[in-house]
Structure 1
Amino acid sequence: MSAARSAVSRRAVLGGLGGVALGGCTRDEPRAAPSPSPDVAVLASAIAGEEGLVGLYEAALRAHADLAGRLAPVLARHREHLTVLRRHRVPGTVASSAAATPPVVTPPAVPPSAEEALELLARTEREAAAARAEDVRRVAPAMAQLLASIGACEAGHAALLAEDGR
């Protein structure tokens, strides 16, 4: 064999490449689950809020059927909000903080008079609109746009419910 060919054999090169390839197959340390984005917690809270509003409107309609003309369209909007929010939920995401799993809120009892029921609904709508305004500060821009739109709708509901001419 000549000096140039005897330096490295083909078997040695292939064996070295095999060793390098096997060396890359070492076990990595298990990675911690990525922490959820703030959007997950805010979305869960917004969904819970909309579920509470839907429940309150349904209870108000059961107690005051005469308000159906005013309340049914608003209830339909809240159901739409809930559908859209649920579409943004990513299956399998869990949040690490208690804020991400808001407690189930039982809607307050509907007052016996229609006027008081409308006042309760208007106040609840204002609170929901304020909550969405706070939420937009904590989420990504796309989610902020959605929450701002829902919050604006809730503010409009509050104004509509507060109008005279019940």
Structure 2
Amino acid sequence: MRQRAVSRRAVLRGTAAGAVAAAVAGCSTGQNGHGGTAPSGPATPDPETVLVTKVIADKERIVALYRQAAAPGSKAAAVLLPFQRRHEAHIAELRRRLPRSPMPATPTPSGPTPSPTGSASPGKISIGRLREAERKAAATRPRQIGDVSPALAQLLACIGACEAAHAAALARVS
């Protein structure tokens, strides 16, 4: 059997027809609701995941302040450690709300937490500064619960109440 030679023009026509068919197929399945998958591109992050990640970062900064204020062996350590532990419990609960992924959403420090300002040394954080950080955090929570799921709104409200209680309790610490 003899094979017929294919001309360059026939190859180009076939390629063009394939490209048109692929383009039409792509248009009819992705975005107009007839099934298929949407075009690939960067996925928009879930707003609740973004919020939880931000709250975790804020809580980690507060924990770092407590660690600096309550240097091991200091008089303040015994008083401030329960406050710090409650913030760490909040962080753990917030992390449970993050989607599982191969990479952690927020980095977990492997060593001591760095100073939030970069210049403060251990023991240089005042009770007043802790109280102000707690007050600001508590004041932020009501603005964060407006457009979130009821479960997350409840958690954020509870965290805010705890932060407000911390601010009030720190006012009595000398």
Q: TM-score, normalised by structure 2?
A: 0.64
CA RMSD, 1 decimal: 3.0
Alignment of 1:132 with 2:144, yes or no, is no
The Cα of 1:82 is off from its aligned counterpart by 0.6
CA contact (8 A) 1:122 1:161 kept: yes
Give the 3 Å change call, closer, same or farther, for CA 38–70 of structure 1 in structure 2: same
Residue in structure 2 matching 1:80, options 71, 79, 89: 89
Per-residue CA deviations over 1:40-77 (Å, capped at 9, x if unaligned) read 12111111011111111111112881111210000110
The Cα of 1:107 is off from its aligned counterpart by 2.0
Q: Which residue of 2 aligns with 1:150?
A: 159
Secondary structure at 1:62 match in 2: coil
Query: Matched residue pairs, number?
Result: 130
The Cα of 1:139 is off from its aligned counterpart by 1.4
Residue in structure 2 matching 1:46, options 31, 34, 55: 55
Which of 1 and 2 has higher RCO (CA within 8 Å, sep 6+)?
A: 1
Give the 3 Å change call, closer, same or farther, for CA 59–112 of structure 1 in structure 2: closer
Q: TM-score, normalised by structure 1?
A: 0.66
Alignment of 1:66 with 2:66, yes or no, is no
Equivalent residues in 2 for 1:89-128, closer than 5 Å: 89-92=98-101, 107-108=116-117, 109=120, 117-128=126-137
| Whole-angstrom CA distance in 2 between matches of 1:75 and 1:152 | 15
| Whole-angstrom CA distance in 2 between matches of 1:91 and 1:153 | 27
| Whole-angstrom CA distance in 1 between matches of 2:93 and 2:50 | 16
Quote the sequence identity (%): 38
Equivalent residues in 2 for 1:10-29, closer than 5 Å: 28-29=29-30
Structure showing the higher helix proportion among its residues: 1
| Whole-angstrom CA distance in 2 between matches of 1:133 and 1:64 | 37
CA contact (8 A) 2:141 2:160 kept: yes
Gaps of 5+ in 2: 1-24, 31-36, 107-113
Gaps of 5+ in 1: 1-25, 94-99
| Whole-angstrom CA distance in 1 between matches of 2:137 and 2:73 | 22
